[in-house]
Structure 1
Amino acid sequence: MTTTPHPLAAAPFRTVSDMLRLHADAQPDHPALRDEAEALSYGELDALVDRIAASLQRDGVRRGDVVGICALNSVRYGAVFLGALRAGAAVAPLAPSSTSDTLASMLSDSGAKLWFTDAAADVSALDSSLPCISLDGIALGRMFDPWLATAGSKPQRVDVVPGDAFNIIYSSGTTGTPKGIVQSHGMRWAHVQRGAANAYGPQSVTLLATPLYSNTTLVIFFPSLAYGGSVVLVKKFDAARYLRLAEQQRVTHAILVPVQYQRIMALADFGTHDLSSFQFKFCTSAPFRADLKADVLARWPGTLTEYYGMTEGGGICILDAHLFPDKLHTVGKPAANSDIRLIDEAGNEVPAGEIGEVVGHSTGMMTGYHGQPEKTREAEWFDPAGKRFIRTGDVGRFDEDGFLTLMDRRKDMIISGGFNIYPSDLEAQMRAHPAIDDVAVVGVASELWGETPVAFVVQRKGTLETAAEIKDWFNQRAGKTQRLADLILVDELPRSAIGKVLKRDLRDAYAASLSAKPSI
């Protein structure tokens, strides 16, 4: 789809808060933000953001302070995020699925002056001395409405600069203790400018069914509002309800993670929904199978764009799947202003066509991990000229056309008998079996080989094959070093809130069961 370049694409730095104010002045009655229970126009949202910012300043929040939010998606959540920014604060959006101990650790690490929550958060281990405001009237702390400054209240203006912290996103990936990723106003403004190519505007309606604590959501949420579009928030994803809402709201823009696309496309009544309003669909955060991309392209109107990158920044690759149907096995080419390279274990760039760890540089890089300079240094790589890159931990290879194919996470690569085994290769081969609905392969300790692959399989409904039968089918077709040591049937694969398979959980569960198994 060809679009005329938007003036914001080359505009000097502005804040998202200032963009909201401009739209409130120009189109005060235009729908801005809605959820299942509440809807606000731009004028109403801007006024609420003013009241929130004034309330935060009244409570001692100053430029550079941090405000925490731990809740499900809602209009109030979005307004609080924007209000904190208008007050000059950075936001720490936290996952309500976190354990109470982890939540307490993240709040402490962020240095939040106060925080907002709802009934979805586990607060059993929290320090009650930290001021808290309840967004839903159910959670602990002061109720939102009585806390809020009176109607018409205005905050003191705070002039932020591109280097000021915008948010601290806590990401443990799938591997351990959460690390606070500090992202700047400049980085978010780069995302807004990049959004100029996606035809956001007063005519656009963006449906968000991923959580606001995820960078996946924020890279679409803020550009949608910065260009004056309408945003619809969903608290919890349900495939059937998502389609009904998309049809009802005449949605034009959406971002989903691969497992959400998978569940939507599997619905028997998918074809009965009128999705003709869709113009742009996006995907990120987890591996997106080529066959699933092809299915979305064939049956769902509008473009399909996959973004590959990290919350830490460091450049992105973009695959416009609708333009390159022969490259669906890749994650596309480096975006403009993204420098993506591949390095070996020694930190040297690999020759063209060879496999290496993906590192990237862009204007959208994190400042660093909050309060963890050593972790920040571990995540950095510098080229011989001193240019700073962020290490992704992913292993990939560029093809002759400059498209990047990902092999696996470096930590997930299996070294068995001295041979490198990429679980994604095995998973792709296994999906050819008609009884397999979903699969994850992990490496487990082996006395004979150092590591050996084990598969966890979700069967398609109605199939009757045993684990042994599926394992034998695969091993007869696999190379000698790729053969499975074990195959476990499971009801579902453990996933994070944004759809990443938690392979660490699978490895840990398998290791715990090894005492009852013979050595492998």
Structure 2
Amino acid sequence: MTARDLLLGEFATLPDLIAAHAQERGERTAVADEQRSMTYAALDRAMDRVAAALQRDGIGQGQAVAILAASSVEYAAVFLGAVRAGCVAAPLSPSATPEALAAMIADCGAPILFADADNAEALRHQSVTAGIVRLDLPAFEAWLAPPGSRPQPVAIRPQDGFNLLYSSGTTGVPKGIVQSHAMRWAHIGRNAASGFDEAVTMISTPLYSNTTLVSFLPTLGWGGTVVLMKKFDARRYLELAQAHRATHTMLVPVQYQRLMAVPDFDSFDLSSFRLKTSTSAPFSAALKAEVVRRWPGLLVEFYGMTEGGASTGLNASMFPDKLHTVGQPLPGHEIRLIDEDGREVPPGETGEVVGRSPAMMTGYHGRAEATREAEWHDSEGNRYIRHGDLGRFDADGFLILMDRKKDLIISGGFNIYPVDLEAVLREHPAVAECTVIGAPSEAWGETPVGFYVPHTGVGASAEEVREWTNARLGKTQRLSALYPIEELPRSAIGKVLKRELRERLKEIAA
């Protein structure tokens, strides 16, 4: 069956699509990093060798395969080869603490972990039950099944797990989000008109992020080329985009901000670009307008969440008067706005965003109660996912986000949960009470800032407490500032009033 036949069908797996592309456009580059590249034919063979080696090692269908590394061609081959074997790819964040990583590996039950040299070393003192395979050459090549190996075929159903992503976690058991083959098929299918079949897509966000996967997977599903960066650097990004004649990219807003700030940005030839997208963090109207003005190709902002629910899209190039919004629901996606009691709010009013679509998580791994808490059902029993944001629709049906219902902090496109940071901060003997909020940051969009009530009689400065806390947090979670406070502002029922603390931050900044 041809790739086009598969893409026009009701359901196909990504490994089958890649196999079809290998037959039809085998010499086209499928994935490249800054050291090497793989054609579709080579990627298909590498996936077979990975899948066959996993089966050789007794790793069965439905089991998790953990990956902890910087983006590379080998990373892509392991991720996709695991999926071909019917396993569930579990990419992990290298910025998490070693303790959190060990907890994630235990939570997903992965019998095997692929790690590059730096990350394998970071786990050296942790009790990790998974067998560790070094992803760097030649160790990886030695682990692979011999050239020409083929795995035993597996039957994959739409509801089977495709990947498992961890949203956060520095204490306790992190929360894993299970995404099915059906969900990923929906992501591929909804990009039918995006030109990914001839795309050269720049990927500068990590492969453990859903932000990345919603561009990475459709590009390969349609037969385009992916160019991976291990670490984002604005000037290097522009050099690679120009050299590869890039046509597509997904960037978080802070990356657009840094690219626009490159002094000679306008000297780079970016005329090949057809589509630029953004998601994961607030994207200011002024920055959207600047990108539209200075960078060729369409700019489309997506709003959604890793768990699924519903997504919106804003074609900023087409709707310059709607840049303060996140656009309209995508085809097949439905958004409702509800009040505190779970009832829909009248048109024009603000409510909590809940959504449903073909692209929804199966649930949180091993956490049925947390899954139920994330769901809302309408009067007909249809399942929606709570987005945790407050918003309202304008008269034209464009969604305006008002605030986050949850206190999620988004820094550089990464989700940071204050409760995780507060749990660590609270362990310091000088801290009696504490809370963490997000503060505006030119460099990161937002950054975590803490407030704490000092224990009397414990001689530690705020800076000492901050350094102690940051040493125990992941790189993206670290507090940018910590302030002692006599008393945390609370409501009548004892809830910390974080809005008052945000106002206090404004006074400190002034």
TM range (shorter): 0.7 to 0.9
SS in 2 for 1:47: helix
2:64 paired residue number: 66
Shift of residue 206 of structure 1? 0.7
Alignment of 1:118-517 (within 5 A): 118-121=116-119, 122-137=122-137, 143-172=139-168, 178-201=174-197, 203-412=198-407, 456=439, 505=479, 509-510=481-482, 513-514=484-485
1:429 paired residue number: none
SS in 2 for 1:264: helix
CA deviations on 1:80-137 (whole Å, 9 max, x unpaired) are 0110011110111100111001000000110112110113422144335421111125
SS in 2 for 1:40: strand
Choose which of 53, 56, 67 in structure 1 pairs with 2:54. Answer: 56
CA deviations on 1:231-268 (whole Å, 9 max, x unpaired) are 11000000010001000000001000000000000111
Instruction: Give distance in 2, aligned partners of 1:272 and 1:285.
Output: 28
1:94 paired residue number: 92
Contact 2:100 2:170 in 1 (8 A): no
Instruction: Give distance in 2, aligned partners of 1:368 and 1:458.
Output: 33
Structure 1 326/8 Cα, relative in aligned 2: closer, same or farther at 3 Å? farther
In structure 1, give the amino acid aligned to 2:351: G
SS in 2 for 1:407: strand
Shift of residue 197 of structure 1? 1.6
Contact 1:20 1:225 in 2 (8 A): yes
CA deviations on 1:333-377 (whole Å, 9 max, x unpaired) are 011111101111111111111111100011111000000011101
1:468 paired residue number: none
1:15 paired to 2:10: no
Choose which of 93, 103, 110 in structure 1 pairs with 2:108. Answer: 110
In structure 2, give the amino acid aligned to 1:315: A
Contact 1:308 1:317 in 2 (8 A): yes
Shift of residue 455 of structure 1? 8.7
Instruction: Give distance in 1, aligned partners of 2:266 and 2:327.
Output: 28
Shift of residue 172 of structure 1? 2.5
Structure 1 272/7 Cα, relative in aligned 2: closer, same or farther at 3 Å? farther
Instruction: Give distance in 2, aligned partners of 1:74 and 1:453.
Output: 35
Instruction: Give distance in 2, aligned partners of 1:453 and 1:88.
Output: 41
SS in 2 for 1:231: strand
Shift of residue 8 of structure 1? 6.2
Shift of residue 452 of structure 1? 12
2:82 paired residue number: 84
Structure 1 219/291 Cα, relative in aligned 2: closer, same or farther at 3 Å? same
Instruction: Give distance in 1, aligned partners of 2:303 and 2:160.
Output: 25
Shift of residue 195 of structure 1? 1.3
Contact 1:183 1:366 in 2 (8 A): yes
Instruction: Give distance in 2, aligned partners of 1:152 and 1:289.
Output: 51
Instruction: Give distance in 2, aligned partners of 1:452 and 1:230.
Output: 45
SS in 1 for 2:190: helix
Structure 1 175/315 Cα, relative in aligned 2: closer, same or farther at 3 Å? farther
Shift of residue 384 of structure 1? 1.5
Contact 2:165 2:178 in 1 (8 A): yes
Instruction: Give distance in 1, aligned partners of 2:325 and 2:94.
Output: 33
In structure 2, give the amino acid aligned to 1:131: G
CA deviations on 1:13-33 (whole Å, 9 max, x unpaired) are 111000110111112211111
In structure 2, give the amino acid aligned to 1:29: E
SS in 1 for 2:34: coil
SS in 2 for 1:62: coil
In structure 1, give the amino acid aligned to 2:254: V
Structure 1 517/21 Cα, relative in aligned 2: closer, same or farther at 3 Å? closer
Identity of aligned residues (%): 54
In structure 1, give the amino acid aligned to 2:213: L
SS in 1 for 2:156: coil
Instruction: Give distance in 1, aligned partners of 2:23 and 2:199.
Output: 19
Contact 2:106 2:129 in 1 (8 A): no
Instruction: Give distance in 2, aligned partners of 1:382 and 1:457.
Output: 35
Contact 1:8 1:196 in 2 (8 A): no
Structure 1 455/412 Cα, relative in aligned 2: closer, same or farther at 3 Å? closer
Structure 1: state its 5+ residue gaps.
1-5, 414-422, 425-441, 445-450, 461-493
Shift of residue 161 of structure 1? 0.7
Give the structure-2-normalised TM-score: 0.80
Contact 2:106 2:128 in 1 (8 A): no
SS in 2 for 1:411: coil
1:31 paired residue number: 29
Contact 1:48 1:79 in 2 (8 A): yes
SS in 2 for 1:206: strand
When the two structures are aligned, how many residues end up with a matched partner? Answer: 439
Contact 1:72 1:120 in 2 (8 A): no
